């Protein structure tokens, strides 16, 4: 996976490649899907959610430009917990928010199994972030929004980066917003398709 799906497709950050090669992805999918765990595509994890394809996980992590052992990270949409675990191998601490309590609990069990102690797992509205631990050096969202939620921008440290799929429910553009002293700097990283971020500040339940 690391060599064929990531390195050959432009993932060059050695720290990201090492983390992706360390976390056992098969632990984050259903037993009947273990043989497909390393396929370069998303897989269903229940509750109408998915585990993102490995390349997208690596692309988002690389775009966040984490400082190993130092970055404070907010992860929106815990899901299976796979991306959270990858981030935890690089960052100083990861706060992760999931709106579906059952998914959050399963993810916590996986974190315990792997001995990952630098993760704080929360249940709530991802678009609201987690202001109690702000500011963050990076915020990554595994769910799409029509625009960057104001709360997430406000919780970024100066120099921090928000990696967010932006668009409608059908298709989005992976977008990186960097907070600077002069405002937001925006760059795009390619077309993607994510589940919607369900929140009054993103897509409401009817839209989802």
164-192 confidence digits (pLDDT tens): 999 988 889 999 999 999 888 999 988 89
Residue keyed to tokens 């370069």: 40
- What residue ranges do the domains of the chain occupy? 2-192
Q: Is the pLDDT of residue 1 over 70?
A: yes
208 — pLDDT class (breaks 50, 70, 90): very low
User: Based on C-alpha coordinates, what's the Rg of the chain?
Assistant: 15
DSSP H or E stretch at residue 43:
strand 43-46
DSSP 174-202: EEEEEEETTEEEEEEEEEE---B-BSTTS
In terms of pTM, does the model score above 0.75?
A: yes
Mean pLDDT calculated for residue range 51-58: 94
- Tokens at 30, concatenated: 């259903």
Mean pLDDT calculated for residue range 190-197: 89
**Three-state DSSP string of 82-124:** HHHHHHHHHCCEEEEEECCHHHHHHHHHHHHHHCCCCEEEEEC
Helix axes of 54-64 and 82-90: crossing angle, nearest 10 degrees: 40
pLDDT in tens, 5-15: 999 999 999 99
Residue keyed to tokens 């960097």: 178
Catalytic residue check, 52: yes
Question: What homologous superfamily is domain 2-192 in, according to CATH?
Answer: Vaccinia Virus protein VP39 (3.40.50.150)
- Among the options 52, 71, 80, 199, which is catalytic? 52
Quick one: pLDDT at residue 25? 95
Quick one: pLDDT at residue 179? 93
Residue in 153, 156, 154 with CA at minimum distance from that of residue 145: 153
17 — pLDDT class (breaks 50, 70, 90): very high
């Amino acid at each position: 996976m690391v060599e064929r799906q990531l390195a050959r497709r432009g993932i060059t950050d050695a720290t990201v490649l090492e983390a992706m090669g360390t976390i056992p992805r098969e632990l984050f999918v259903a037993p009947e899907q273990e043989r497909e765990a390393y396929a370069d595509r998303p897989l269903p994890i229940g509750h109408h959610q998915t585990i993102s394809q490995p390349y997208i996980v690596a692309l988002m992590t690389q775009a966040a430009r984490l400082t190993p052992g130092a970055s404070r990270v907010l992860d929106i949409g815990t899901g299976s917990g796979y991306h959270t675990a990858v981030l935890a191998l690089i960052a100083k601490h990861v706060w992760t928010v999931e709106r579906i309590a059952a998914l959050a609990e399963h993810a916590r069990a996986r974190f315990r199994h792997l001995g990952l102690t630098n993760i704080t797992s929360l249940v709530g509205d991802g678009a609201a972030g987690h202001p109690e631990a702000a500011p963050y050096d990076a915020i990554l969202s595994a769910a799409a929004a029509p625009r960057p939620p104001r709360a997430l921008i406000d919780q970024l440290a100066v120099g921090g980066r928000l990696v967010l799929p932006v668009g409608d429910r059908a298709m989005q553009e992976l977008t990186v917003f960097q907070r600077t002293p002069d405002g937001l700097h925006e760059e795009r990283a390619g077309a993607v398709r994510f589940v919607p971020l369900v929140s009054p500040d993103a897509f409401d339940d009817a839209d989802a």
